[in-house]
Amino acid sequence: MARKKVARPVSKPPTIWDGDRYFDARFTNKEFINLRAKLMEVCGYGPRSDRHGGGNYMGFEVDIYRPAEDVIWPAFKAQGLDHRRDHSRLCDYTIIHVCRELGFDYHAFAANAPKLSIDGFIAHAKRAFPEFKQPRKQIERAIQEHKLHAAWIDWMDAECSRTGCACESHWLCHDRFVDRDYPAILKEIAAYNETRPKYAPPKLVYSRD
């Protein structure tokens, strides 16, 4: 008796609900800008579409990019991601969805270089802010995060120069480093400051003589 052939299961292409199987690349800011510019050209929104040669940025935003973001938004939220905290990932998801819809190869734009450590920044922040304590109020946390971010910018500029970054300005280089979690870093600084030796001012002894 002849064996009945069993059909092999056909793997279905991933959808927006399949997480990293669908959104399978991450871009630095520069890579994202280059990919977006190429997509604008492919979709007819490039330099030739604008008499000033700058491209129809808003046309691409309204006609292509925002509708794609609306499509992937439910899947983005279902992963527990947040618009403010995970905005760079939302941008990556949106541009990947546009590319997949167009059949455009986006992997060539993602170098996926290893992220640099920020341990040096955390050590620098511990030295720079001996006065930081665990914030009790939201306004205290906001002030500490503002000071911490200013320190991050200075440290990042110096670290980029030290590690051979060729950019003239480093304001887009933050994604060369691992993600920063300011609340966690502030908590670590506060805990470290608790271990600092407490300075006790000398007691003044007055004499009647």
Residues in CB range of 27: below 8 A, 6 or more apart = 35, 91, 92, 95, 109, 110
pLDDT tens, 69-111?
A: 999 999 999 999 988 888 889 999 999 999 999 999 999 998 8
The confidence score (pLDDT) of residue 128 equals 95
pTM higher than 0.85, yes or no?
no
Instruction: Provide the Cα torsion 74, 30, 159, 126; round to 10°.
Output: -20
The confidence score (pLDDT) of residue 2 equals 55
Amino acid letter, 28: T
As a whole number of angstroms, the distance between CA 99 and CA 58 comes to 18
Q: How is the chain split into domains, by residue range?
A: 16-109, 119-194
Amino acid letter, 60: F
Q: How far is CA 172 from the centre of its chain?
A: 10
Instruction: Provide the Cα torsion 22, 28, 31, 35; round to 10°.
Output: 40
CA distances from 133 to 130, 138, 165, 185, 188 (A): 8, 13, 34, 12, 10
As a whole number of angstroms, the distance between CA 105 and CA 54 comes to 24
The confidence score (pLDDT) of residue 92 equals 94
Half-sphere exposure (Cβ direction) of 187: Cα atoms closer than 13 Å: 5
The confidence score (pLDDT) of residue 206 equals 62
Instruction: Provide the Cα torsion 159, 161, 164, 165; round to 10°.
Output: 90
SS3 state at 201: coil
Amino acid letter, 57: Y
Q: E strands, 51-128, where?
A: none
The confidence score (pLDDT) of residue 196 equals 82
As a whole number of angstroms, the distance between CA 78 and CA 108 comes to 28
- Residue-by-residue pLDDT tens, the chain, 209 positions: 556 655 565 568 899 999 999 999 988 888 999 999 999 999 988 876 555 555 688 889 999 999 999 999 999 999 999 888 888 899 999 999 999 999 999 999 988 778 889 999 999 999 999 999 998 999 999 999 999 999 999 999 999 888 888 777 777 788 788 888 999 999 999 999 999 877 666 666 666 65
Residues in CB range of 122: below 8 A, 6 or more apart = 185, 188, 189
